[in-house]
Structure 1
Amino acid sequence: MLAFITTLRHPQNSVDYGRVERLLEDTLRSVTQQTSDDYVVIIVGNRRPDFELPPRTEFVEVDFPAPAPATGAQTARAPFVWDKGTKLGIGLIAAARHDPSHVMIFDADDFVHRDLAATVSANPDHGGWVIHDGWMYSRARNVYVPQADFNRTCGTCFIVPIGAYGVPTHLSEGASQEAVAEAYGERLNEIMGAHRNAESWYREHGHALRTLPYRGAVYHVDTGENHSGKSLAGVARPLSAAMERDFGIRPSRGPLNTLWSAFGPSAVATDLSALLRRAIRPLRRRTRR
């Protein structure tokens, strides 16, 4: 079984918490369209979502305080990692009740491939996978691009044996943040609250992850609630039927509007800027002579 685990930020640390919940609802539509039923989804947050959760999905409510003042979606790294890491710690405790072979931590606004649970089900003793190549998608423009070094860009990128996390058996889902942090130790900062250097940590601790043989996840940007504030600029591909099928992404606009967005104002501005720089460069050289 594969356990998908995610967390919701504290309502105080968002631009619009209603939007946070709508993003989660879209993400859960993606996660729960798995072609295998061998999965469970665990969500940890301060407030139960205001919509009906899909089957095989559990919500664990915590009363952890806001990690930072009300400054919007972008917070400092340390409080972000503390809040996310301790909530994931609770999520892992909840997931362990289902005895999964593997765990995938995912961000609550991303999308995942429908075959992930089937891949785990067919390989229950596998040492784990890392997504090196994925996609970046902009709901605002309804377009996407390939994303290399995916695991250093997006946190929805590792499928690992649950044993890698050292889930504490002496803690319950009602444990305090301090108890959770103490129990998980360095894992909290290295592989739970952050992801950029997690592959190295796994390797150094005996978990040599293999590259997932297909693009298994989509990094969703331009949401207004991204901690990174990341945006997709330049020319991009209009959302395809294959992306809709494999990741459960619903189109955000009609085909003509999407086509314009793929080559429209932001993309054109980026390309014209590059063209102008290339055109001006020879003139500058002749002027110097």
Structure 2
Amino acid sequence: MLSIVACLRHPATANDFGRVNQLLQKTIDSLKNQSNQNFQLIIVCNEGTKLSINTGDIDTQLIFVDFPPTEKVEVVDDETQLQQWNNVRKDKGTKYLTGLNTALSNDAEFIAFIDADDYLHKDLVTYIYDNKDKNDGFIINKGFGYKLDSNIVYEIHPFHHSCGTCNVYRANLFKPYLNNASFANQNSLLSSVDDFITYDILGSHKHANELFEKVGATYNYIPFEAAMYIVDNGENDSGISQVTYKAQPLTKAIIDNFSLQTQLSNPLAIKLELLKHYCRTSIKKNNQSKLIRAAVRLKQKLN
């Protein structure tokens, strides 16, 4: 069986937890349309979290943890930026560890970790089952970025460097790392599980290949756009700018593949939105070029 594990931020750190709930429901709605429904959904959230969700026929477990809110740091330089990201990774990593432990207790064969505001391609679960005997894991390196109710999508390659909805692991790869794990509280988890697993593998999403290679596991990159990163939704942590990505029109196929709750606009509206994107991209590139030229001139003067 495949377990899909998602975690929610502490309500105290959300800009609008009602919005968090809405985004989670949209993610669940996309899961309802998987072509293979042989999976379990595990959602990890803080005690006292009030959720209003409809999971339909999806086998779902809610896990509540008593973890403190993520400590916020005023970011003023690279050091404080790193500290802020480590705080986010600590919260995410320990919640995913809790969901992972539940999945292992349920005898999951594979585990996928997803952000609770992203969408999966309707055939992703089918692809995992079709290829599970040949691989110990999968990495989504092709995907889309999408702003809700927009007429365009953004090609994000490599997707796993930008979005946390990107890694699938054979469950038993984690067992050696959890031999001494204590789930009494967050601090006990942090002290009993290797930081490599907590911060780099589960708290982050860019190092899955390091775990596969460390344990001699086989993995492959999924050959199609398998996930969709919902950008600018008001609750993103990464804050990436879609201006840097190549845009393309939203199509009926993309709507169907990701179960988007939207309708295609008229061709003119789509063209205008693409034009705006290209203008913003051009301005950004031009400004960067000006900064580079100014830096070169300054360096020449100093020399």
State TM-score, norm by structure 1.
0.84
Alignment of 1:163-242 (within 5 A): 163-166=172-175, 168=178, 175-185=184-194, 186-233=196-243, 236-242=247-253
Given residue 98 of structure 1, which amino acid in structure 2 is its aligned partner? N
The question of whether the paired residues in 1 share the 8 Å contact of 2:43 and 2:99 is answered with yes
Bigger shift: residues 207-216 or 253-262: 253-262
Determine the C-alpha separation between the residues in 2 that align with 1:61 and 1:277.
Answer: 46
Check 1:100–1:123 CA distance in 2 against 1; reply closer, same or farther (3 A cut). farther
State the Cα deviation string for residues 54-80 of structure 1 (Å, max 9, x = none).
321221111211021498xx9811110
Equivalent of residue 146 in structure 1, options 126, 140, 155 = 155
Classify 1:183/1:275 alpha carbon distance in 2 versus 1 (closer, same or farther; 3 Å). Answer: closer
Q: What CA RMSD, in Å, does the superposition of the two structures yield over aligned residues?
A: 2.9
* Contact in 2 for aligned 1:112/1:247 (Cα 8 Å): yes
Q: 1:101 aligns with which of 109, 118, 122?
A: 109
Q: Is the 8 A contact 2:247 2:277 kept in 1?
A: no
Letter in 2 for 1:97: S
CA contact (8 A) 1:3 1:39 kept: yes
Given that 1:141 and 1:261 are in contact with CA atoms closer than 8 Å, whether structure 2 keeps it comes out as: no
Aligned residue pairs: how many?
275
Gaps of 5+ in 2: 75-80, 290-303
- 1:56 aligned onto 2:59: yes
Cα–Cα, structure 1 residues 256 and 100, in superposed 2: closer, same or farther, change >3 Å? same
Which has more helix, going by share of residues?
2
SS in 2 for 1:230: coil
Match of 1:65, SS? Answer: coil
Secondary structure class of the residue paired with 1:106 = strand
Which deviates more from structure 2 when the two are superposed, residues 146-155 or residues 201-210?
201-210
| Distance (whole Å) between structure 2 residues aligned to residue 3 and residue 132 of structure 1 | 20
1:83 is the counterpart of 2:91: yes
Equivalent residue for 1:251?
Answer: 262
Q: Offset of 1:145 from its aligned partner?
A: 1.9
Distance 2:72 2:286 in 1: 43
Q: Which runs of 5+ in 1 are unaligned?
A: 279-289
Counterpart pick for 1:129 among 109, 114, 138:
138
- Is the CA contact (8 Å cut-off) linking 2:7 and 2:96 kept in structure 1? yes
Shift in Å, 1:83: 0.5
Preserved contact between residue 20 and residue 225 of structure 1 (Cα < 8 Å): yes
Instruction: Give the aligned partner of residue 70 of structure 2.
Output: 67
The alpha carbon displacement at 1:120 in A equals 2.6
Aligned with 2:212: secondary structure?
helix
Greater CA drift, 133-142 or 39-48: 133-142
Maintained 8 Å contact 2:4/2:40: yes
Residues 146 and 153 in structure 2, CA contact (< 8 A), matched pair in contact too? yes
Q: How far did residue 208 of structure 1 move?
A: 3.2
Report the TM-score when normalising by structure 2: 0.80
Provide the rounded CA distance (Å) in 2 between the counterparts of 1:257 and 1:12: 42
Instruction: Give per-residue Cα distances to partners, 1:227-249, cap 9 Å, x unaligned.
Output: 01123227722321111111112
Structure 1 residues 3 and 218: alpha-carbon distance in aligned structure 2, compared to 1, 3 A threshold? same
